[in-house]
Every structure is written in C-alpha cells, then in structure tokens.
Amino acid sequence: MSLSQHDAIINTASITAYAGAPTLIDYSASKGAIVSFTRSLSQNKDMLEKGIPYA
C-alpha cells in the first residue's frame, strides 16, 4: 500500500471506553480495545518511521 503525506489513521470510540456501562459490557470492552489498539499502534516503531499520524 502506498501512502501519501495526507494519510492518517483515525479510530473513534465512545466515553464507555473509559467509564464503562453496566448494561453495555460487550460494547464498553470493544471500545476500550479500540483505544488500547490505537495507543499501541501509535508507539509501533515501523509506523513511527513511516511518519503516519494517529488520532
């Protein structure tokens, strides 16, 4: 895959990723996984070398 200088990776999650919700356990867990994945990916050496921004 070829990237241009305008490419970025953007992941979104809801507040339940941080606060949780007793009736939305599976939803909260999946949103928390997105947050954790994005944080880990933003520290990945290969991605940092390519200069890909994350949000």
Q: Report DSSP state, residue 14.
A: -
54 is catalytic: no
Q: What CA–CA distance (Å, rounded) separates 38 from 4?
A: 20
Tokens of 46: 């290969």
- Choosing from 11, 14, 20, 27, which is the catalytic residue? 27
Q: Which helix (H) or strand (E) holds 19?
A: helix 16-19
Q: Which residues are catalytic?
A: 27
